[in-house]
Amino acid sequence: MEAVVTSNPANSSQRERITVRSPASGQVIGEVPVFGAEEVKAAVERARKAQVSWGALTQAERSRRVLSFAHALIAREEELCDLISREAGKPAFEAYLHEVSASAICGQYFAKHAEKLLAPRAVELTLAKHRRATLYYSPRGVVGLITPWNFPLFMPLRDLFMAVVAGNAVVLKPSEVTPLIALKAKQVWDDAGLPPELFQVVTGYGPTGAALIDAGIDFCVFTGGVATGRRVAAMCGERLIPCVMELGGKAPLIACSDADVELAAHAAVSGGFANSGQICIAVERVYAHKSIAEQLERRIIERTRSLRVGDPQQQTVDVGAIIFPKQIDVAEAHIADALAKGAVLATGGHRIESKGNFFQPTVLTNCNPSMTVMTEEIFGPIVPVMRVDSDEEALSLANRSHLGLNAYVFTKDRSYGEAFAARVEAGSVLVNDVLTNGGMPETPFGGIKQSGFGRVLGEDALREMCNVRHVNVDRVGLGSNNPLWFPYTDAGLSRLRKAFGLMLGGGGLLSRLSKSIRS
């Protein structure tokens, strides 16, 4: 299959190209060009021009057109799922659930709610009652998206929907490992009649991503690894480009003393092995309370052994391919390190001989914090389990991490779970569930610590796609006798002290007011 190239770069005969292979079959499935810096710049310029008329549309009209793109995705879901499955090696179920439907849900949500969420907002002023403050949201301009391979449709479209509904144009640099699906999304966009130059795709490796940051974009959303994130954030910093960094994760699953063992085991297996563990919010470490640990481990192992692994194009499977051989090397290195330090290989642990890249879903027990598998991102199908003496010990270990994206708490006592969750250092904490917030458009998604900063999804993320303009208008005419302006006089200062003393002093108006509010 030949990829559709949406731009028409010059000297295309001599240019470097990327050959795309299916990770499940090893077959070549397409080829795309590597965009150079000049071409990226030209794409950003075209996007900037297209943004002018798009940004001038009413919100209702923009939302209507964005919604038509969401509908077009669902109308072409089979074609999209098939390509995702071939290019990323995902089971059909995940291609539909995590990619196509998640994208459409996201588009539909932002199309439906943008008018309300981006409407001008009044701000109540505490002292300057004679003035009226209103916040207005206007598009930033051109938003640059740099995305990874593990959700090759959803990650770009999640951010695209928020950006365009808010009135921006988008230039996307997809992962060099999965560029075909990004180009297919662009084709669906064009076919749905949306402005072609408003959303552009520039394919290539890291330098193409760097060129995008250098091409005059107004905002950048980067999703990828921590090491690349540092470089991208530094580039944005040098150019003072505001950015969101969605980086790695090391999600702990804490099974408290009163956890529903069956539920926690099922969650550990689904959360650990979905997308072959290649999810930034995958269950990457389990802390099991000693009172339930034995039973929990047994059920995790049994469930893991029942998983069907293989080429999703050939059969119905639970666990598909690993994206490239290097990820298998990483998994093997983690396992070797853990076994050398006393872990027990309960099931799995080996690569599966095949034309594609497959690895057995693996469970390690008797793990401890000296093992890399408990501290560094795995991004592969390994669930390591460590027994703990108390929920408090689990909490302390969970928080002893340089990453903080998602975390999971399992307990039958929901109130305890909610209070416990408030003490976990992570961007999102789910009680008795795994993964679902990744596709929940209403709630903010993102990390703390080295998992990044800023948020995608949720109303704050939508507003982040905008410049905020604070407009402040006088409600009553003070005329030219404003007592805060020149000339400064001793009498004026004394009046100021008296007035502010009344309002701000210990027994003053403001403190009396706040006391009466508290009581």
Catalytic residues: 246, 280
Minimal distance, residue 138 CB to ligand NAD, in Å: 26
Q: With respect to ligand NAD, which residue has the nearer C-beta, 246 or 391?
A: 246
Minimal distance, residue 461 CB to ligand NAD, in Å: 12
Minimal distance, residue 146 CB to ligand NAD, in Å: 5
Minimal distance, residue 205 CB to ligand NAD, in Å: 5
Q: Which one of residues 110, 199, 379, 410 is an interface residue with ligand NAD (CB under 6 A)?
A: 379
Residue 224 binds ligand NAD (CB under 6 A): yes
Measuring CA to CA, how many Å separate 11 from each of 14, 20, 31, 208? Answer: 6, 21, 16, 17
Q: Which one of residues 148, 320, 349, 384 is an interface residue with ligand NAD (CB under 6 A)?
A: 148
Compute the distance between CA of residue 453 and CA of residue 221 in angstroms, rounded to an integer.
10
Q: Which of residues 413-442 bind ligand NAD (CB under 6 A)?
A: none
Residue sitting closest to ligand NAD (CB):
209
Two tokens at 419?
């209070």
Q: With respect to ligand NAD, which residue has the nearer C-beta, 182 or 194?
A: 182
- Read off the DSSP letter of residue 126: S
- Alpha carbons within 13 angstroms on the beta-carbon side of residue 386 total 28
Q: With respect to ligand NAD, which residue has the nearer C-beta, 17 or 231?
A: 231
Q: With respect to ligand NAD, which residue has the nearer C-beta, 214 or 297?
A: 214
Task: Kindly give the interhelix angle for 59-75 and 154-165, rounded to the nearest 10 degrees.
Answer: 160
The pattern of x and - marking residues 242 through 281 that bind ligand NAD according to CB under 6 A reads ----xxxx------------------------------x-
Compute the distance between CA of residue 369 and CA of residue 392 in angstroms, rounded to an integer.
15
Compute the distance between CA of residue 44 and CA of residue 468 in angstroms, rounded to an integer.
22
Question: Which residue reads 């990323």 in tokens?
Answer: 88
Minimal distance, residue 403 CB to ligand NAD, in Å: 9
Q: With respect to ligand NAD, which residue has the nearer C-beta, 99 or 246?
A: 246
The pattern of x and - marking residues 443 through 472 that bind ligand NAD according to CB under 6 A reads ----x-------------------------
Q: With respect to ligand NAD, which residue has the nearer C-beta, 391 or 464?
A: 464
Q: Which of residues 162-221 bind ligand NAD (CB under 6 A)?
A: 173, 175-176, 205-206, 209-210
Compute the distance between CA of residue 458 and CA of residue 453 in angstroms, rounded to an integer.
14
Does residue 409 contact residue 420 with C-beta atoms inside 8 Å? Answer: yes
Measuring CA to CA, how many Å separate 331 from each of 149, 398, 401? Answer: 18, 21, 19
Closest among 368, 312, 358 to 337, alpha carbons compared: 368
Q: Mind spelling out the 3-state secondary structure of 275-320?
A: HHHCCCCCEEEEEEEHHHHHHHHHHHHHHHHCCCECCCCCCCCCEC
> Which chain residues interact with ligand NAD by CB under 6 A?
146-150, 173, 175-176, 205-206, 209-210, 223-225, 228, 231-232, 246-249, 280, 377, 379, 405, 447
